A and B are shown apart, each in its own frame.
Chain A
């Protein structure tokens, strides 16, 4: 239990998907123009991450490793992610039209969000670590903790950037640097600030 909580907190701050690994950068930069849409995409990422990562964990531990099919993991993981995204889209549309309307446009985008695929690939590496290691994913509970944590960390990052970009509209930025250039530098500075969590030990 303690291990799962530590994993959860670390994956939000110290191992933040955006600031430590640059995963999911494309949609991160494209959809961070206002806070409301950013939060919508963030929720969708948490949602899909929490479903796909444990499924991929079960596949990795109970199917791929015993059968020695490790080299098929890329194809299998991406197929699971694409299928789950499609499934989630249909289920949400059927049972909660309001949620569908707010998430709707983002759900298909998520299939190619590197944060989701990256989460599964990190899980694949971390399964191999020994249980003592703080980063190890030893059971299904850990996989859930890592999934929710990394999703939350991603959402935190995108909402924070959207907030800053909304304010930055009014700043006088050199012309060639406007738009995407200054956004990169802002994210760089935010990443520097997040470095202070890297010493975090729980």
Chain B
């Protein structure tokens, strides 16, 4: 069912051409929503859905968009999809929507979207664009989850809100362990992503 091109469009962004690590796109939100695992998961899923759908829509109408105003057309399509997702989140997951605050709206200006629309959807068929969108969205979500995993585990000793580090280990309970408060600060997200890029590059270089 899947041709070689379609398969590549899906698999490439997951590792070798990862949107965050290699193309350095969509950094803003990747850093801001990763204090805990739950908002990171929600953000990853939302971006995946929006990237995939907007890729399909733009790919369907790509032949009738005038070149000069294509950016505005793309922005309006994306903004409409983001509005729908934001309303759905507010209706069914209100607390997460509040936690994500402006960053849901900022998916509109997420560079991954504009990048994929410009570079892929404008020149490829809807099916390939769908797979490309899914691949890029999942590649982005994967990085979010890795960073959020470490920040939540080391920063507050929890995962998805459940206590992972035993209570009895903490200094307040007579143990030896203390949470690393630094992990909760915005700055550590940058440093963690830097380290992930470091590991990713050294692994991929060995392969070559």
- Chain A: residues with CB nearer than 8 A to chain B? 19-26, 29-30, 71-75, 78-79, 82-83, 108, 111-114, 116-118, 121-122, 125, 174-177, 180-185, 187-189, 191-192, 195
Output the least CB separation between A197 and chain B (Å): 13
Instruction: For A195, list chain B residues within 8 Å (CB).
Output: 185, 187
Beyond the given pairs A20-B186, A114-B106, 9 more chain A to chain B contacts, judged by CB atoms under 8 angstroms and listed by A's residue number, are A22-B31, A26-B25, A71-B87, A78-B76, A79-B72, A125-B101, A176-B205, A177-B198, A189-B187
Please state if A112 and B27 are interface contacts (CB–CB under 8 Å): no
Please state if A121 and B190 are interface contacts (CB–CB under 8 Å): no
Measured CB to CB, the nearest residue on chain A to B33 is A22
Number of B residues whose C-beta is below 8 Å from A? 43
Interface class of chain A by DSSP? helix
Judge whether B40 is part of the interface by a CB distance below 8 angstroms. no
Judge whether B161 is part of the interface by a CB distance below 8 angstroms. no
A19 to B28, CA, bound (A): 11
A175 to B208, CA, bound (A): 14
- Chain B: residues with CB nearer than 8 A to chain A? 24-29, 31-32, 71-72, 75-76, 79-80, 82-83, 86-87, 101-102, 105-106, 108-111, 114, 185-191, 193-195, 197-199, 201-202, 205
A20 to B27, CA, bound (A): 14
Indicate which residue in A22, A174, A188 contacts B28 across the interface (CB closer than 8 Å).
Answer: A22
Please state if A74 and B71 are interface contacts (CB–CB under 8 Å): no
Q: A30-B24, A176-B198 are in contact. Are A184 and B109 (CB under 8 A)?
A: no
Please state if A184 and B76 are interface contacts (CB–CB under 8 Å): no
Please state if A25 and B31 are interface contacts (CB–CB under 8 Å): yes
Please state if A191 and B72 are interface contacts (CB–CB under 8 Å): no
A148 to B191, CA, bound (A): 29
Indicate which residue in A20, A75, A114, A188 contacts B109 across the interface (CB closer than 8 Å).
Answer: A114
Output the least CB separation between B47 and chain A (Å): 13
Please state if B75 and A111 are interface contacts (CB–CB under 8 Å): yes
Q: A177-B198, A185-B191 are in contact. Are A79 and B28 (CB under 8 A)?
A: no
Residue among A114, A117, A187, A191 with max Cβ neighbours from chain B (10 Å): A114
Residue among B27, B32, B83, B111 with max Cβ neighbours from chain A (10 Å): B27
Instruction: For A174, list chain B residues within 8 Å (CB).
Output: 198
Please state if A118 and B102 are interface contacts (CB–CB under 8 Å): yes
Please state if B106 and A118 are interface contacts (CB–CB under 8 Å): yes
Please state if A176 and B201 are interface contacts (CB–CB under 8 Å): yes
Instruction: For A75, list chain B residues within 8 Å (CB).
Output: 76, 79-80, 83
Please state if B109 and A113 are interface contacts (CB–CB under 8 Å): yes
Please state if A117 and B109 are interface contacts (CB–CB under 8 Å): yes
Measured CB to CB, the nearest residue on chain B to A191 is B187
Indicate which residue in A23, A125, A183 contacts B106 across the interface (CB closer than 8 Å).
Answer: A23
Q: A22-B31, A78-B75 are in contact. Are A188 and B106 (CB under 8 A)?
A: no
Instruction: For A117, list chain B residues within 8 Å (CB).
Output: 105-106, 108-109
Output the least CB separation between B146 and chain A (Å): 14
Please state if B102 and A125 are interface contacts (CB–CB under 8 Å): yes
Please state if A185 and B190 are interface contacts (CB–CB under 8 Å): yes
Please state if B24 and A180 are interface contacts (CB–CB under 8 Å): yes
Please state if A71 and B190 are interface contacts (CB–CB under 8 Å): no
Measured CB to CB, the nearest residue on chain B to A123 is B102
Output the least CB separation between B35 and chain A (Å): 12
Please state if A122 and B102 are interface contacts (CB–CB under 8 Å): yes
Please state if B102 and A74 are interface contacts (CB–CB under 8 Å): no
Measured CB to CB, the nearest residue on chain B to A108 is B71
